[in-house]
Structure 1
Amino acid sequence: MQRVLGSTELEYAFLFTLRKVNSISTEGFQPFFNNLPVDPYIKGNYRTRRLSRFIVSQDKLIKLPHGYLFQSKDYNPLVGDIKREFAELDDALIELDIFKNLVFAFSDSCKLHPEAEIGVHQIRTSCSPDNFGNPAPEGIHRDGTDFIGIFSVDRKNIQGGETHLYTAKKEKPVFNKILYPGELLLINDHQFFHFTTPIKPMTDGVGTRDVFVLTSPSLLSD
């Protein structure tokens, strides 16, 4: 765990923090990853996802209207400068206490200002013996937001999928770790580039890596 306290920090900002969210049992999330629509913006049909945006108002989680994800090519050379549209998170998922606890944990850990917009990406990356899955097809990158949270929900029949943080693209990573279910990695997007290595099956058959990625600001627009 690393933190910074100084006059140049983003108000309350940290560098990165890895924590286990003990209030969340990841088994409750797992059924909701089986019906994710294919991400149409990535070739290969190996990634599925949903996306919604929220604000935390006092102790309530409020879902905001549907929006479009937009990043410039400066941040996402693969699909930047495109208005991307994804299906919303399942209403039954949003009602779960464990989902609310996840968003609250992100908001509290980053000390977000009241009613800051939070984007929640629900993503499954799949792989098979013939096709590896690439959780970060854009390569080493920043998202173009302030804070990022990567929460691991499940890993089934896979090896790889190690998350790296870099202070510069051509430097060696300053952090590298496989995120296991229940672990939440919080990242200051202004300070680090991030990347997750491809996954491949440990045995014959399909392998999957399920995560929630949270960002604030949400990167969504109307």
Structure 2
Amino acid sequence: MQTLLGSTESSYGISFALEKIDSIELEGFKPFFRELPVDPFIKGKYRFRRLSRFKVVGNELIKQPHGYLFQSKQYNPLVGDVKREFAELDDALGELDGFKKLVLEFRNYCKLSSGVEIGVHQIRTTCSPNNFGNPAPEGIHRDGCEFIGIFSVDRENISGGETHLYVAKKEKPVFKKVLRPGELLLLNDRDFFHFTTPIKPTTVGEGTRDVFVVTYPSLLSD
């Protein structure tokens, strides 16, 4: 079951929308986030990541060959113009019904045609009392694609992590919300800049924020 919590449209179609997807079983995702390798391109070893691309044909996901992520400095001033390689998503994760539902919901809501290639980033951001985690170390930014989906899987022992959308970098956000587990934010990357505020633990110990970020196109190259 999907519950539409709000949406806007532009000349490009979807501008942004927020959904609660109750039909996706979140517990099945959680073991896969415990096994993520550290993101070697971000200092501090607080972010962990995998990345794969899939061709969506009908209701089937076909995993595509390994590739590297590339964004120009225009979109990513921190690690732009760098070929970034990440470990692939676990094949068992890709077989979960909930994972397929997520990718297909993204495809369907963005009204993408059959045969498109979609990228799926699996990201864990961690924090501790001495090291706050930054889900968006590049600051307020665009990704350089057409559509983005941010799906919250879990928040454990954290405060912060509020996602913002901006029509211009120097203006106030037009949307800001902490995405709760099961919520999917869809946005048109041509309409908005986005950012997520740092996270910090609410009690002594480590805190974690687990999300999938889905993009069209995938931004991956051979």
Map 1:71-220 onto structure 2 (within 5 A). Answer: 71-220=71-220
* 2:34 partner amino acid: N
Distance 1:151 1:122 in 2: 10
Distance 1:169 1:115 in 2: 34
SS of 2:14's partner is coil
Distance 2:49 2:187 in 1: 21
Q: Give TM-score, length-normalised by structure 2.
A: 0.96
Q: Deviations over 1:173-197 (max 9, x none)?
A: 0000000000000000000000000
* 1:205 partner amino acid: G
Alignment correspondent of 1:55: 55
Does the aligned pair in 1 maintain the 2:9–2:16 contact within 8 Å?
Answer: no
SS of 2:45's partner is coil
- Shift of residue 116 of structure 1? 1.2
- Structure 1: runs of 5 or more not aligned: none
Distance 2:23 2:175 in 1: 25
- Shift of residue 25 of structure 1? 1.4
- Shift of residue 218 of structure 1? 0.3
Instruction: Tell me whether 1:3 sits opposite 2:28 in the alignment.
Output: no
Answer with 136-145 or 105-114: which moved more: 105-114
Question: May I ask how many residue pairs the two structures share in their alignment?
Answer: 217
SS of 2:76's partner is coil
Distance 1:58 1:23 in 2: 20
- Shift of residue 2 of structure 1? 3.0
SS of 2:106's partner is helix
Q: Deviations over 1:4-30 (max 9, x none)?
A: 26xxx23xx211000011220111100
Distance 1:204 1:183 in 2: 27
Q: Deviations over 1:62-88 (max 9, x none)?
A: 111001000000000000000000000
- Shift of residue 42 of structure 1? 0.2
SS of 1:93's partner is helix
Does the aligned pair in 1 maintain the 2:164–2:176 contact within 8 Å?
Answer: yes
- Structure 2: runs of 5 or more not aligned: 1-5
SS of 1:168's partner is coil
Does the aligned pair in 1 maintain the 2:128–2:201 contact within 8 Å?
Answer: yes
Distance 2:152 2:176 in 1: 15
Distance 2:22 2:212 in 1: 16
SS of 2:27's partner is helix
Report % sequence identity: 72
What is the CA RMSD across the aligned residues, in angstroms?
0.7
Q: Give TM-score, length-normalised by structure 1.
A: 0.96
Distance 2:120 2:9 in 1: 26
